[in-house]
Amino acid sequence: MTMNETVGNNLRKYRQAYGYTLEELAERIHKSRSTISKYEKGLISIDVDTIADLAAIFQIPAAQLLAVPCIRDAEPEKADFLDRQYVYAFDGKRQRIMKSVLEEFHSSDSETNSVQLFYDMEDLHTMGRCKVIYSGISKEFDLCRNYNLQNLSHPMEQIWMCSMNGLFKSDHQIGILAGLSSFTMYPCARKVLITSSIQKESDLMEELVFSKEDVRLLKKYNVFTISEFVL
């Protein structure tokens, strides 16, 4: 994939995540619809000034539009892209598995990473088509990783997520996502699974639905937790 195609894919992802049509984005940066389309297809290069304008519209660092996926365990590319993970949760109201994509980048702070969460997607291969996009930071500790994120369209909606590494780091990390619900705007918490590969949804129910042990701990301690957190 050429650099033009990579930047074009990133542009399409953010445009769709924010719900802009080609026409609407073209109007925002004073370009034609056909020019935006050519950017996204990688047919023409995006100049530096336009990259800066797009980054301001999407409220992201310009480097994230230039981000090139890197091979796992390899050195990060200059555009600072680190990793992509998949986040799963169970929506009890609609009886469905919720799928999200989490992307991490280097930040100016050596102790934290910059993070974006494309939340609740119908198709994990079409990242921009998500219900909400969150942006924030993550920080890793010996046994867990914490995420602090904010809805870029509605700043009052902030969420926190914690995943447990356990004694041995695994591709499957159980965690909790808590904050205001983007649908009801009430505080809530979900059990989540974070993994580096796309999972078969039919295999996830047992891990994502609250177990009898989860409920037992809630009643015993009057604290919302999940059994996988108990060491």
Q: Give the rounded percent of residues in the chain with a pLDDT score beyond 90.
A: 43
Overall average pLDDT of the 81-86 stretch? 88
Whether residue 100 has pLDDT greater than 50: yes
Residue 209: both structure tokens together: 């639905």
Say whether 81-229 and 3-65 share the same fold. Answer: no
For the chain, what is the mean pLDDT?
85
Is the Cβ–Cβ distance between 161 and 149 less than 8 Å?
A: yes
The pLDDT assigned to 75 comes to: 38
Categorize the per-residue pLDDT at 74 as very low, low, confident or very high, splitting at 50, 70 and 90: very low
What separation in angstroms does the CA of 59 have from each of 15, 56, 79, 150?
Answer: 12, 5, 17, 12
pTM of this structure:
0.75
pLDDT band at residue 154, thresholds of 50, 70 and 90? Answer: confident
The predicted model gives 181-193 an average pLDDT of 81
Concatenate the DSSP letters of all residues of 177-207 into one string. EEEE-TTT-SEEEEEEEEESS---GGGSHHH
> Worst-scoring range by mean pLDDT, 122-131, 167-176, 185-194?
167-176
Q: What is the pLDDT of residues 41-61, one digit of tens each?
A: 999 999 999 999 999 998 888
pLDDT greater than 50 at residue 120: yes
pLDDT higher than threshold 70 for residue 1: yes
Q: Summarize pLDDT for 155-181 with one digit per residue, the tens.
A: 778 899 998 875 555 678 889 999 977
User: Per-domain residue ranges for the chain?
Assistant: 3-65, 81-229
pLDDT bucket at 68, cuts 50 / 70 / 90: low
What is the homologous superfamily of the domain 3-65 according to CATH? lambda repressor-like DNA-binding domains (1.10.260.40)
pLDDT at 207: 86
Q: Which residue matches tokens 């660092």?
A: 61
Mean pLDDT within 17-38 = 94
The CATH architecture one would assign to domain 81-229 is Beta Barrel (2.40)
